[in-house]
Amino acid sequence: MDKDKTPDAARAADTPVRPATPHGPGPRERMSSIQQIESPDDATHPRRPGSARPRVRTGVQVRAPWPPRRDPEATAVIRPGDPEATAVIRPGDPEATAVIRPGDPEATAVIRPGDPEATAVIRPGDPEATAVIRPGDPEATAVIRPGDPEATAVIATPARDADAVPAASRAPVVPGRPGTGLPSRVAAPQRADGRDAELPGAGASRADAGPSHGQERRRIPRWERRRVPRGGPWDLGHAPFVLLVSSLGVLMVAWAYAGGRDSAAGAPVAYWIGQIVVFTPVVLRLLSRRMAGVAESFLLVMGLAINQYLLKWMYSPDQFRFPDELQHWLATTIVLETGKLFQPNPALPPAVHFPGLAEMGAAIASMTGLPVSVAGIMVAGVAHLVFVGVLFALVLRTSNSPAVAGVTCAIYATALHYLFFSSMFLYQTAALPFFMLAIWANRRWREGNGRVFAAITVLSIGLTTVCHHVTAFALVATLLLVSVAEVATHRPRRWSALIMPTVALAVVSAWILLVARDVIGYLEAPAEQVVETVRMLLTNEVSAGSVSAPVSVGQLVLQGSGLIGLFVLYLAVARDMVTRRDSDDWRWAALAGGAIFFAGNGVRFLGQNGPEIAGRLSTFTYVPISIIAAIALVRAVQILPARDAEGRRWWVQPALYVAPPTGRNLVLRVLAGSALVTILMIGARAGGWPPLGSLLPGPYLAGGFERSVDAYGVDAANWERTTLGPGHRVGGDVTSVSLASTYGRQDPVREVGSLYYADQWTLDDEQKVADLGLDYLVVDRRLSTQLPVSEAYFENDPRAGRITQPLTAAQIGKFDALSGVDRLYDNGTVRIYRMGNA
């Protein structure tokens, strides 16, 4: 034995690695809640009818055969669930008795594996403590994770090579899980020579702390090395270099944007190359299975989020141009000017009762003295980064794997609205961090980590509700999904899991019914449109509203490929969970959420608003599908499983442990995974926001939303505010109305399309002006030179999707000839008419 090694380390190094067998409990890394361990004996040794499970108390499931067989390979798998539970196991050897009372600080665990002299006594004390024991018999290994409801305790007795994987290699990354570096309160078992036996858990602690703690070098199987932080918990690994490459992509996109503003020919190519350079190196590194640990993964994820936020900011770095941002710029400015909340906002009336974002923006703007647009960029950026960070923390806690957490966040970055809509200065961006915080806190509360997490959950529910209506509804649904999964997968039923969704429903309902009643009407219209479209589809009726906007074939192929890839991964994980009889409630919740994601994608074909509704829905449903896809990619879940001895392939319980791919197989998997995620990203950029025709900033585009905002429109809006004063009813095209209602502080009138399309001014038009109470009309002459890139010039455009030629000069110029109409503003491009009602 090597003198430099502890007895256990030497033993671990000397013991050959057991190859994966379909019936043996080989070395396992899948110990966390998103990992899957079931007794392999379940399939081969079904329980006798009527035989009782070896539960001493409720909440503990022991899947070992009972009564015990004299099977040297026998394995008992315990999920303590209930911290109060007590399990008594005799796996294999009738003389080996293990008594575990996890959770109770006063509990004592006693293991007498055959040899009366080999006795380990454990007093966990801390419910989150971890004990890893090799009592007496060097070949008997017990791993206990008390306290954690989702933890798994594994006792392999006696397994000849059970500790082939040293405890250090099982080192988890989340405190409260094994080998966290926390001081162990477990009494070391005594060796025959009176010395303290080596506690692998302690070894793991040192391993986590890095070599600085004098850890002896242990031989760690190659596939396990990635779980061991090489340079300690703060080892950033290759993240700085990867982010350096990624930042070069940001620079490339900056040049592409500059080229777009100058209408340079190569700008689109530079844009796509830049997007890939920003994104793909990070994904490659996250999938490489060689990461240093949490610090590297977290840095990569946050670095990617920052880089991608910069891509959004650089699109319009000098001012807000996106219509939604302009609406919330106004809401924030109103708070800043009046010093009060809940003041009317003509640009977006429902936002009045969801003032969270405006409060944040007003606070930062007033404290710094910076303009609202600058403060808003800061607030949106911080909120976006917090959202990504909490998502990482949530998945890290549920998976205990920095790779899974990192890949989840990277895949989520391919959501349709991630790059722009979810990071703009709008109220959903403010609500998303609280949404995710509520899920995270609820998770920790359900883990039994204390009432403070319940309080944080309730607080986060309240903050989400105050910030954004749809996010609040999504939070209720998500909490309900997670709770139902917990109730369904645990015996006895944990009905207390339903408390949080009930609280969330009460809070959201109270806010909507008592404070924000107008939001019901606001959300009613798109919902009714979807319902109407479904009805028309069922009855084979056709109308303009039921037809979705056409999508290019290339875009369809790209997005379809990504979706099919996701679906294959989803099916692989689902098959794996079903065949393993998975009982992890969070994993099942993610699976159900993934199903909702695929169903939600069908909404995009339901009418004109379908794509937008599907995109908004994916902001929430993309979280679970990202988790599922990350599990599949990181854990190398078999898409095409090998046949078993009987030639069956699909519905056979998979081997308990399958060695992860190495060598060429690993390279191929990493490349394939990175390619899939990159395709998803490209599909999201092509199908998300801004639209494909406006991916680059540039000169004015009719009906181009942010591409329609330029100095001429802004000047006209500013004139409306300074000369006319606020509150007049102003109509115009999409952009004119948006600018008039925000910078101009006017009351927008959106149903004016027919006034423009009329070739001649008629009494009907006069009547419409009167009916709408229209005071002023904004006419942009460029509407007569360009087709609208969004298929519509106006909101509620009567010719949306059917416009084949621009408005004519006569249609645009007919207002000049109206005797009762004043043209009070002219900047050569934008003209403003007083319609006689003012």
Partner 1 sequence: MNWLAARLLAVVTVLAAVAVLAAPQPLAVAGALLLGFALPGLALTEVLFRRQTMTAVERTVLAPALSLGVLVISGLVGNAAGMPLDRAWWAVSAAAVTLAALIVWTAVVRPVRLRRRPAAGTAEAETVQIPVVREAPSPQEAQRRADQQAELARRRLAEKQLALAQQRVRQAQAREQRRRVVREFLPLLLVLAVLGGAGWVSLRSAHESYHVTVTTLSAAPPGAPNGDGNRTLRLTADGLLAADGPYTLVVTGADGARVDRRTVPAGDGSWTGSLVVPADQRLTVTLYRSGDTTAYRTLFVAAS
**Range 250-269, binding partner 1 (CB under 8 A):** 250-251, 253-255, 257-258, 261-262
Span interacting with partner 1, options 78-86, 333-341, 550-558, 752-760, rule CB under 8 A: 333-341
Nearer to partner 1, 381 or 748 (CB): 381
Q: Residues 298, 299, 301, 307: what is their CA dihedral angle, to the nearest 10 degrees? A: 160
Query: Of 221, 216, 151, 138, which Cα lies nearest the Cα of 180?
Result: 151
User: What b/e readout covers 649-678, taking b as 16+ CB neighbours within 10 angstroms?
Assistant: eeebbbbbbbebeeeeebeebbeebbebbb
Strand partners, 112: 97
- Closer of 271 and 794 to partner 1 (Cβ): 271
Could you say whether residue 615 binds partner 1 (CB under 8 A)? no
Beta bridge partners of 122: 109
Decide: is 472 part of the binding site for partner 1 (CB under 8 A).
Answer: no
> Which of the residues 134 through 193 are near partner 1 (CB under 8 A)?
173-176, 180, 182
> Measured from the CB atom, is 314 or 484 closer to partner 1?
314
Residue 289 DSSP code: S
Q: Is 459 in the site for partner 1 (CB under 8 A)?
A: yes
Query: Closer to partner 1 at the Cβ: 97 or 319?
Result: 319
Q: Which of 85, 407, 466, 512 is close enough to bind partner 1 by CB under 8 A?
A: 466
Nearer to partner 1, 510 or 668 (CB): 510
Give the binding-site size for partner 1 (rule: CB under 8 A): 113
Q: Report d(CA 138, CA 720) in Å as an integer.
A: 84
Which residues in 292-311 contact partner 1 (CB under 8 A)?
Answer: 294-295, 298, 303, 306-307, 310
Rounded to a whole number of angstroms, the minimum distance from the CB of residue 634 to partner 1 is 17
Torsion of CA 753, 755, 757, 761, to 10 degrees: 180
The rounded distance, in Å, linking the Cα atoms of 76 and 41 is: 10
Site for partner 1 in 201-240 (CB under 8 A): 211-212, 214, 231, 233, 235-236, 239-240
The DSSP bridge partners found for residue 776 are: 730, 834
Name which position in 25, 81, 281, 355 contacts partner 1 (CB under 8 A).
355
User: Would you count residue 726 as binding partner 1 (CB under 8 A)?
Assistant: no
Binding to partner 1, residues 690-719 (CB under 8 A)? 697-699, 710-712, 715, 719
Q: Please list every residue from 5 through 24 that binds partner 1, using CB under 8 A.
A: none
| Residue 774 near residue 833, CB atoms below 8 Å | no
Site residues (CB under 8 A) for partner 1, limited to 366-395: 366-370, 378-379, 382-383, 385-386, 389-390, 392-393
Q: How far apart are CA 157 and CA 357, in angstroms?
A: 57
* 813 is a contact residue toward partner 1 (CB under 8 A): no
Residue 361 buriedness (CB in 10 A; 0-12 / 13-18 / 19+): buried
Contact call for residue 433 and partner 1 (CB under 8 A):
yes
Strand bridging mode 153-156 / 776-780: unpaired
Question: Between 429 and 621, whose beta carbon lies closer to partner 1?
Answer: 429
Of residues 94-113, those binding partner 1 (CB under 8 A): none
Single out the segment in contact with partner 1 by CB under 8 A; choices: 437-445, 627-635, 748-756, 765-773: 437-445
Give the residue among 450, 447, 457 at the shortest CA–CA distance from 490. 447
In total, the chain counts a number of residues equal to 838
- Which stretch in 58-66, 279-287, 415-423, 450-458 sits in contact with partner 1 by CB under 8 A? 450-458
Q: How far is CA 122 from CA 76, 108, 128, 186, in A?
A: 19, 5, 13, 5
Binding mask 551-580 for partner 1 (x = CB under 8 A): ------------------------------
Binding residues among 730-749 for partner 1 as defined by CB under 8 A = none
760 binds partner 1 per the rule CB under 8 A: no
821 binds partner 1 (CB under 8 A): yes
For residues 413 and 623, give the distance between their C-alpha atoms in angstroms, rounded to a whole number: 10
Contacts (Cβ under 8 Å, ≥6 apart) of 47: 53, 65, 66
**Containing H/E element for 470?**
helix 469-489
Residue 573 or 830 with smaller CB distance to partner 1: 830
Span near partner 1 by CB under 8 A; candidates 55-63, 446-454, 763-771, 797-805: 446-454
Cβ-based neighbours of 82, under 8 Å, separated by 6 or more: 57, 58, 59, 60, 103, 149
Residue 533 touching partner 1 (CB under 8 A): no
80 class by beta-carbon count within 10 Å (0-12 exposed, 13-18 middle, 19+ buried): buried
Question: Contact between 244 and partner 1 (CB under 8 A)?
Answer: yes
